[in-house]
Amino acid sequence: MPTLKEIKGRIASVQNTLKITSAMKLVSSAKLRKAQTAIESMRPYQAKLQEILDTATGGASLKTPVFADERAPEAVPSAEKAIFRDGDTVVIAMASNSSLCGGFNANAIAKAKKVLRDCKVVRVYSIGKKMADAMRKAGYPSPEDYSALSDHPSYGPASDLAEKLMEEYAEGKISSVLLVYNHFVSTGKQVPVVEPLLEIAGQAGNDGTAIPGTPSVIPGSDRESPDVILEPSRKELLDALYPKTIKLKLFAALLDSAAAEHAARTVAMQTATDNGEDLLAELTLQYNKGRQQKITSEILDLAGGQARE
């Protein structure tokens, strides 16, 4: 049985841990609000860009992913069924730079490893140190260090990476690019998803359905649309809009993953705080019982000594 001094030391240790978990929960909550604001601020621009692209292609353009409240929850993981499985694939996998966020990293890494098994992957761009470490052990070291994008999603580096991949895609060096990340559904729910960033036009998935994110109209084509007049030309408009859509899709995934990370850490730290408070209550009760027992023993010793006198 532990002594009162040992129990007192454990109480002090738990109290210090509670201060840390409570502070981390508050910080993660603040970062989560900021990440949600960033996503909500980008939605009108993304919606309008998609509307213009749909109009330019007659409604058969590249479909960028919508956010959780704009689609059925069961539609989130369904994109996995439409993975492009033929040819050389590049994967952009996202996780966090640190731990203490529940199963956030483990779920993203497990989803990325599943893609490695299912596709002919030639390269993996890891965003986040945890993902980079896991992919390096799997034999897919990241060509560049993108760990900064995990903590601070930025459009500039994301745009550069997307442009680089579009050039390789246009040259025929790669056949598809997949995004693997945790999709933010709510504070208590983050779903690991696989979504196509670049795919061969008109390619169908294993179930025969069109792949989400696949342009059925090749960018730069001049398909006629009797209801819309485009200036200067359909080709020039699509050549300008298509790259912007791809870059925005990658940036949106970065913001989505960041929001999911902060949500997961908020929940994890709240759970740790609750468990710490329960443990503190148990230790305090144990300490008080031990202290009371010690006082009672001392009183009995004094009373026994007086009786002998």
Q: Per residue in 140-197, pLDDT tens?
A: 999 999 988 998 999 999 999 999 999 988 888 888 999 999 998 888 889 999 999 8
Q: What is the mean pLDDT of residues 43-65?
A: 68
Q: Per residue in 259-308, pLDDT tens?
A: 999 999 999 999 999 999 999 999 999 999 988 888 888 888 777 766 66
Is the pLDDT assigned to residue 67 strictly greater than 50?
Answer: no
Q: In what order do the strands lie in the sheet with 121-127?
A: 121-127, 89-94, 176-186, 189-198
Q: Which of 209, 225, 168 has the alpha carbon at shortest distance from 75?
A: 209
Q: What is the mean pLDDT of residues 119-137?
A: 93
pLDDT at 231: 75
CA 99, 103, 104, 106 torsion-angle sign: positive
158 membership: H or E segment, kind and range: helix 155-170
pLDDT at 261: 93
Q: Which of 222, 195, 216, 203 has the alpha carbon at shortest distance from 61?
A: 216
Instruction: Establish whether the linkage from the previous residue to 141 is cis, with ω within 30° of 0.
Output: no
DSSP 57: T
pLDDT above 70 covers a percentage of the chain that reads 79
What integer best gives the mean pLDDT of the chain?
80
pLDDT at 45: 84
86-109 burial, b at 16+ Cβ within 10 Å, e below that, comes to eeebbbbbbbbbeebbbebbebbb
